[in-house]
Amino acid sequence: MVKVFLDAGHGGHDPGALGNDLREKDINLSVALKVGNILINHSVNVNYSRTTDVFVELAERARKANNYNADIFVSLHCNAFDNPSAKGVETYSYPGSSNGAKLAKLLQSSIVSSGVYTVDRGTKTANFAVLRLTNMPAALVEMGFITNGEDANILKNRQEDLAIAIAKGILSYFGIPYKDSVTTLYKVQVGAFSVKSNADNLANELKSKGYDAIVIYQGGYYKVQVGAFKVRSNAEALANELKAQGYDVIIVVV
Ligand code: ZN
């Protein structure tokens, strides 16, 4: 199965760009999680540099993707400029990476053809750390200018459309057709905590047992999720396996 690593830029004490009452880190994370859900719905394996509002070093983001052996790396960001009239979408790849450039072109053209943008600023290359340090084809999408009113409106109110466009671009890289109707996902959740360290401890315990546990902050709780499946019986099989080990498991349908 294809493996995609999604990198929501910034996080924690690093809010990224600010503008129009928005924080870049929040938009990046929200869109990344939505993209991930769509990809999982298309039987793509997904891993993230972060699934909550935490700070992760650039080198660590790349290291995680390399350890995961991802087929591609996609980083999501929002642009900013002193002049609020600057606007539009642009996508970067690493200089000299032809597959990175191919991925960047597919992402850019998918966003443009979906209409979730103001100006097509095209694809570019840049020596960004996450593009340089990742071993696989990588692209970084600047989804819009948080400092521009029109773009900020897209970044705030059209995150689902942006996520679909980005997911379509990723899927097209692998030749996987996008299916509109797959929306139900069965998530295996092992716990929900108000204190993040409790969730992290449980996730680490599960990881040490070989489970792909992630912590997602949602609705005021840190939730430990061990898997997300299109097929309910697959989620039930994992839930039963975890229950047999004494874990408190629920299946969340989204
Ligand atoms: Zn950024």
Q: Give the pLDDT confidence of 164-221 residue by residue, as tens digits.
A: 999 999 999 999 999 886 667 889 999 899 999 999 999 999 999 999 899 988 888 9
Question: What distance in angstroms lies between residue 196's CA and the mean position of ligand 1's atoms?
Answer: 24
Give the pLDDT of residue 185.
Answer: 84
Segment 67-80 shows an average pLDDT of 98
Active site residue 142: yes
- For the chain, give the percent of residues with pLDDT over 70: 99
Asked if residue 139 lies in contact with residue 122, where contact means CB atoms within 8 angstroms, the answer is no
Can you tell me which residue has the tokens 């830029």? 9
Task: Tell me the three-class secondary structure of 185-212, residue by residue.
Answer: CEEEEEEEECCHHHHHHHHHHHHHCCCC
Question: What distance in angstroms lies between residue 106's CA and the mean position of ligand 1's atoms?
Answer: 20
pLDDT at residue 125 is higher than 70: yes
**Collapsed DSSP state (helix, strand, coil) of residue 39:** helix
Pick the catalytic residue from 57, 142, 205, 236: 142
Give the pLDDT of residue 233.
Answer: 87
Question: What distance in angstroms lies between residue 9's CA and the mean position of ligand 1's atoms?
Answer: 5
More confident residue, 46 or 179: 46
The token duo for 190 is: 């092992």
Helix ranges, 96-208 (H): 98-114, 129-133, 149-157, 159-173, 196-208
Question: What distance in angstroms lies between residue 45's CA and the mean position of ligand 1's atoms?
Answer: 25
